[in-house]
Amino acid sequence: MSRIKSAIIGTGYISRFHVDAIRRTGIADILAFHDEDYELAQKKAEEYYVSRCYKDLKDLLNDKEIDVIHNCTPNNLHFVISKKIIESKKHVFSEKPLALDSKEGYKLVELINKNPKIIGGVNFNYRMNPLIQEMKQRIKNGMIGKPFVVHGSYLQDWLLFESDYNWRVESKIGGKSRCIADIGSHWIDLVQVLLSERIDEVCADLVTIHKIRKKPKDQVETFSRSNNIAFEDKKVDTEDYGSVLFRMKSGLHGVFYVSQVSAGRKCYLNIEIDGSKSSMYWNQELVDWM
C-alpha cells in the first residue's frame, strides 16, 4: 500500500491537530502547507518540518503528488476552498462546518456526487472516541433497553471575558450561529451517532452575553494571550450560550445546552442516555463511561 500524500490549507490553531493526527496514522505524510498569510505558513512549515510551502493556492492544487487536502480555513472559506479541492480531483477533509449555510453545503454534496472517485469528509472527531464507539455498540445491543430521553452539555470558558476575541465571533466569517454551530454541532453529532438516528425538530434559546467585545487590532491566534495589545470595540451578533429542546425522528425527547462563557470549563462535553433498563453517561474530561 502506497503512503497517502496530504497537504493542509490554513495554518492557524486547528492545523496543529491535523498535523498530529495525520502523522499518528503511520500511513500518511504531509507534503505541503498553504495559507493566505504566507509568512505564517512558512513559519509553520519550518516548525513541523514540512518541505513545501505554497504562496499561491493554484500551485498546491496543481501538485500531482498530493492525494488529499485538509481544509483548515475559517468557516467563510470552507465552501470555496473545498470546491476548488474537489475540482482539482483531490480528496478533501474539511473542518466543520461543511459550509456557511445549507445552500453551499448542498452544492458541495452535488459536486462530490458528480465526482464519485473523490472522497469528502467533515471533521466531527469526537464520534471516533473509542468510548463513544463502545457506547454505540452497547446501546445497539440493548444494554440500556429502550432509550427514553437524552441530555447533556458542552461547556467552555475561552470567551468568558469581553476582551476575549476570535474570528468565530464575527457572523460574516464564522456564520450566523457561533456557540451552537461551533461546539453544539459536536454534541448533536454524538447523539445522532450513538442512537443511529437524526434530530427532527428543535426549539432553542440563544443568548449573547457580551454584546460588545474588545477586538485586537492585530491578528491573534486562537486561544493565545497577550498583555500588550491595542483593542477596538466590536458589536457581537452571535451567541455565547444556547439551550436546545429537541425531538428525534423516532419521537425520543432530549435537551442540551452549550456555553463558551462558563468559568472553569475548558472542554466539558458530556452526554447521558436514559433507557428502560439503565442509563449510560460519558464525560470526555474523564477516562471512563458509566
pLDDT digit string (tens) for 123-159?
999 999 999 999 999 999 999 999 999 999 999 999 9
Per-residue model confidence (pLDDT) at position 288? 62
- The answer to the question of residue 53 being in a domain is yes
Q: What is the pLDDT of residue 229?
A: 74
Could you tell me the pTM of the whole model? 0.90
How many domains are contained in the chain? Answer: 2
Q: Is 257 helix (H, G, I), strand (E, B) or coil?
A: strand
193 lies in the same domain as 223: yes
Mean pLDDT of the 154-175 span:
96
Average pLDDT, the chain: 94
- Is the pLDDT at 289 greater than 90? The verdict is no
> Does 289 fall in a domain?
no
Looking at 123, 158, 190, which one is the last position of a domain? 123
Do 108 and 149 fall within a single domain? no
Is residue 3 over pLDDT 60? yes
Q: Is the pLDDT of residue 225 over 80?
A: no
In which domain, by residue range, is 60 found?
4-123
Query: Which one of 105, 123, 141 terminates a domain?
Result: 123
CATH number at residue 237: 3.30.360.10
Domain assignment present for 156: yes
CA-to-CA dists, residue 192 to 10, 97, 197, 220, 277, angstroms: 29, 16, 5, 35, 20
Strands (E) located in the chain: 4-9, 28-34, 52-54, 68-71, 91-94, 120-122, 147-155, 199-207, 212-216, 231-235, 241-248, 253-259, 268-275, 279-283
In terms of domains, do 119 and 130 share one?
no
Q: What CATH code is carried by the domain that includes residue 79?
A: 3.40.50.720
